[in-house]
Amino acid sequence: MNLLAHMHLATLANSSIIGNVAADFVKGDPYRQYPTKIADGIMLHRRIDKRTDQLDAVKQAKSLFQPQYQRVAPITLDIVWDHFLSRYWHRYGLKLDLVTFNNNMQHQINPYIDLFGTEFKQFIQHMWQDNWLIRYANLQFIGKVLNGMANRRPKLISLRNTFMDIEQHYDQLAQIFDSFYPLLVHDATFNKL
């Protein structure tokens, strides 16, 4: 799962939005570094990631990528899942449209960004400036995101090549997302994550 999905599931679970969004920037035991509510959000993010990675449907999605790209396929899939959530928000969304949800997330996250390092602050500022949550619905934007990640981290250079696999297996990936995401929504709603 990536940003939009973590925000969505955190909202449904009544969990800390900032904790869920900043989790990838936190190493070690969050309870030693942050207030309990934020640390709980970080831990929810980690549980969601672990659970998602273990799903047979997600393993099936990973197998759709060419063998030389399967190492980075989980990263690509996280971005692709946000694409489908953004594109089909009306299926999974709250009673808010995506633009309103984006604005609400910004108001909930911004007061807490100073608790985190410079890298997170810059990341979150780019996210708001470029309207990532809304633009995720555009498949070409997903390609730009993957290229940007590949450019910033040389070890992830092959991310840019995974876009061809997304295009080739787009309908299958959409069906896979639709098969597992409602289960996560259900579990988040009833605090089973």
| Structure token pair of residue 151 | 């450019």
Q: Give the pLDDT band of residue 185 (cuts 50, 70, 90).
A: very high
Q: How high is the mean pLDDT of the chain?
A: 95
Average pLDDT of the segment spanning 172-176: 98
Residue 32 near residue 7 (C-beta atoms within 8 A): no
CB-based contacts of 87: which residues, under 8 Å, 6+ apart? 136, 137
CB 19 within 8 A of CB 42: yes
Q: Are 165 and 43 in contact (CB under 8 A)?
A: no
Q: How far apart are CA 170 and CA 98, in angstroms?
A: 22
172: tokens are 């299958």
Q: Write the CA distances from 68 to 2, 76, 96, 154, integer angstroms.
A: 23, 13, 40, 16
- Phi first, then psi, for residue 61 (nearest 5°) are -60, -40
Express each pLDDT in 21-49 by its tens digit. 999 999 999 999 999 999 999 999 999 99
77-94: per-residue pLDDT in tens?
999 999 999 999 999 878
| Closest residue by Cα to residue 175 from 80, 93, 95 | 80
Give the span between the Cα atoms of 112 and 134, in whole angstroms: 22
**In the numeric block, which tokens belong to residue 113?**
């960004």
Predicted pLDDT of residue 66: 96
pLDDT in tens, 91-118: 987 889 999 999 999 999 999 999 999 9
Which pLDDT band holds residue 120 (cuts at 50, 70, 90)?
Answer: very high
Percent of the chain with pLDDT over 70: 100
